[in-house]
Structure 1
Amino acid sequence: MSMPADLVSQLRAGARERRATRPRGPELASVEDLQGPGGLPLRRYRPADGPRPLVVFLHGGGFVFCDLDTHDRTCRRIAAACDVDVLAVDYRLAPEHPHPAAVEDATAVLRWARPAAVAGDSAGGLLAAAACLALRDEGGPLPAVQALICPNTDLTLGRPSVTEKGTGHGLEAAALAAFVAAFVPDPADRPAASPLHAPDLSGLPTALIVTAEHDPLRDEGDAYADRLAASGVTVRHRCEPGLEHGFIQGMDLTDPAAAAAHDRIFADLRDLIPR
């Protein structure tokens, strides 16, 4: 079943409204909109003058909504807290542009920018992981680090946490199913589009994977961390207790536990990203 156009519009408008209620985030030396490969809209955040590592950031939003503005505060905070440049990607959204459009956009930006790290939350976590797999398979340069925050890695939605945490914890299982259907309409295509189902996970960048206790996507993020480690990839992984999906997006403003989890993520990025 396709996602109705009015629902897509509501989701996108709601994301913009939530963004307007949050503080802007830290002031930086430079925030510049620019174009990447194929004219793809990008936004570069620089905390200060001078060279520093580059992190490509891929926003969440179920592959269907969110954009450069909705994740502006998150990107500003990563840049300031980790002393890195951040390059945010306004990749093509479903249902207008189903899989593999967003993965192709993410891969093209990594190929073009050659960052030190790629990071993504939720749907952006899947895109970051899938882009790393694509670059590995083509033999191209890889970022040193992939940072996946509450990532979607299994588009079959077959893990127990989807049912156990899919009601009453912010991200509903029914919404997840609708997002996946918009991104990969044919269920037969979903395993091949899922990083967790890739037959070989060797040769991938060092991974930071952070999941949340009350997230329907928790189990697939945990499973991806386990599979990467079993394949010889260096992995730093934890499940944040008491938190829900999307805690990276503004929950630090109201929840001290989320704020502390943000600080841990920033510390991990500072530690893992090569200088």
Structure 2
Amino acid sequence: MSKLMERVPIQVQAAFVRAVFALPRPLRRLIAGQPTRIDGQELALDAQLLLTLDKMAGHSFVDRTPERSRAMLDRSRHLVSGVPIEPVTVRGLTLDDDIPARFYTPAEVGEDAPLLVFYHGGGWVLGTLDSHDNTCRFLAKHAKVKVLSVDYRLAPEHPFPAAAEDAYSAFRYAVAHAPELGVNPDLIAVGGDSAGGNLAAVTAYQAVRAGGPRPAFQLLFYPGTDATARRRSRDLFADGFFLTSENIDWFTNHYCPDTERRADPLFSVLRADDLTGMPPAYIATGGFDPLRDEGEEFAHKLAAAGVPVALSRHPDLIHGYVNFIGIGTRFREATAEAAGALRTGLAMSTPARTP
């Protein structure tokens, strides 16, 4: 982040961003520049405008150290997440093994409700309950589900497999405490974005292999699924589209510095030998996301294993879009589609306690 922008109050920056996105479309296009087209896709104006403003302000996803990057994310989230979505009741919880969590209950959702156990993104290094607060509120309200957001341990202080262990523990907690949470133990989904999407899929994989209760549904936003290979989308969108190829290496090296362990299905779930019995899934990818191809390959592998999968590529979007719902309209539209898929998937779910 530029030194000048650090001195500007975040409220002023947020007001400026909102004002820019409220301009007439021709003016927004003038600021963003000529349309960006790659791989037969055209970047959404909202996404291109956001990237232009980020570049002008000197923002970046990663700023040298985990500590600086976390501070930058905590500051910049106010620019794009929007005002808190209501009416949603929110309370803090502490899960088994002292895992902090946040529980969201939207209006008009009573007892025995469906539940989404949500894992935030941030490359297993960044992200907090606060960074994805409005995303959880949005999903709770529009999918008509309760949401349990999990503050799993982060790397490099807690490297692989700490996050995967916490993620699975949180799901088991939700099943065991379903009555007191007021949720149906047969209608507990797992979901997340990016690294959180990875943890959701890994949690489902662990649950199926354990032979006990398994999630009823997987809600995976642009998940990382394979740390052992470099696919075409990573080269196509290596730089300039929020998440960069260099960022991916930085996150991976912090989370799993032991390269020999990166093929473990608890990290690279796409490398699992058998995905039979995995829960139905909605997998969303962004057309301009370096993780696009591995997310879509995971969807195809699930389908080949007989798992019902809805794969939705948003060809005009970038990585991280569920965090940008406070600006423009396109990010919110894509996130609303996912909320609808979650609501429908849980409504159609058969009992999921055993695989």
The interval holding the TM-score normalised by the smaller chain is over 0.9
Equivalent residue letter for 1:141 = P
Match of 1:226 among 296, 300, 304: 300
Equivalent residue letter for 1:43 = R
Shift of 1:186: 1.3
Match of 1:11 among 61, 69, 74: 69
Contact kept? 1:111, 1:140, Cα under 8 Å = no
Three-state SS of the structure 2 residue aligned to 1:208 is strand
Q: Could you say which residue in structure 2 is the equivalent of 1:24?
A: 83
Three-state SS of the structure 2 residue aligned to 1:175 is helix
Q: Could you say which residue in structure 1 is the equivalent of 2:250?
A: 178
Report the Cα distance in structure 1 between the residues aligned to 2:205 and 2:163, rounded to whole angstroms: 14
Report the Cα distance in structure 1 between the residues aligned to 2:220 and 2:308, rounded to whole angstroms: 14
Match of 2:317 among 243, 247, 253: 243
Report the Cα distance in structure 1 between the residues aligned to 2:220 and 2:320, rounded to whole angstroms: 12
Three-state SS of the structure 2 residue aligned to 1:253 is coil
Deviations 1:254-273 (A, max 9, x none): 34332221221111111111
Q: Could you say which residue in structure 1 is the equivalent of 2:50?
A: none
Gaps of 5+ in 1: none
Report the Cα distance in structure 1 between the residues aligned to 2:336 and 2:210, rounded to whole angstroms: 35
Contact kept? 1:125, 1:150, Cα under 8 Å = yes
Which region of structure 1 is more displaced relative to structure 2, 222-231 or 9-18? 9-18
Q: Could you say which residue in structure 2 is the equivalent of 1:55?
A: 116
Q: Could you say which residue in structure 1 is the equivalent of 2:37?
A: none
Match of 1:64 among 125, 131, 138: 125
Contact kept? 1:144, 1:274, Cα under 8 Å = no
Equivalent residue letter for 2:67 = S
Q: Could you say which residue in structure 2 is the equivalent of 1:273?
A: 346
Q: What pairs up with 1:1-275 in 2 under 5 angstroms?
A: 7-21=65-79, 22-48=81-107, 50-51=110-111, 52-114=113-175, 116-192=188-264, 193-250=267-324, 252-274=325-347
Identity %: 41
Report the Cα distance in structure 1 between the residues aligned to 2:87 and 2:271, rounded to whole angstroms: 39
Report the Cα distance in structure 1 between the residues aligned to 2:232 and 2:71, rounded to whole angstroms: 31
Which region of structure 1 is more displaced relative to structure 2, 68-77 or 28-37? 28-37
Three-state SS of the structure 2 residue aligned to 1:70 is coil
Which region of structure 1 is more displaced relative to structure 2, 154-163 or 30-39? 154-163
Q: 1:6 to 1:211 in 2, by over 3 A?
A: closer
Gaps of 5+ in 2: 1-61, 176-186, 349-355
Report the Cα distance in structure 2 between the residues aligned to 1:186 and 1:5, rounded to whole angstroms: 23
Deviations 1:75-98 (A, max 9, x none): 011111111100000000000000
Contact kept? 1:81, 1:266, Cα under 8 Å = yes
Three-state SS of the structure 2 residue aligned to 1:148 is strand
Contact kept? 2:88, 2:137, Cα under 8 Å = no
Shift of 1:157: 4.2
Shift of 1:5: 10
Contact kept? 2:120, 2:195, Cα under 8 Å = yes
Shift of 1:10: 1.1
Three-state SS of the structure 1 residue aligned to 2:315 is strand
Report the Cα distance in structure 2 between the residues aligned to 1:74 and 1:30, rounded to whole angstroms: 14
Equivalent residue letter for 2:309 = V
Three-state SS of the structure 2 residue aligned to 1:26 is coil
Q: 1:74 to 1:29 in 2, by over 3 A?
A: closer
Contact kept? 2:83, 2:326, Cα under 8 Å = no
Shift of 1:143: 1.0
Q: Could you say which residue in structure 1 is the equivalent of 2:46?
A: none
Contact kept? 2:103, 2:146, Cα under 8 Å = yes
Three-state SS of the structure 1 residue aligned to 2:321 is coil
Question: Normalising to structure 1: TM-score of the pair?
Answer: 0.94
Deviations 1:102-146 (A, max 9, x none): 000000111110262011100001111111111111111011101
Three-state SS of the structure 1 residue aligned to 2:287 is strand
Structure whose alpha-carbon radius of gyration is higher: 2
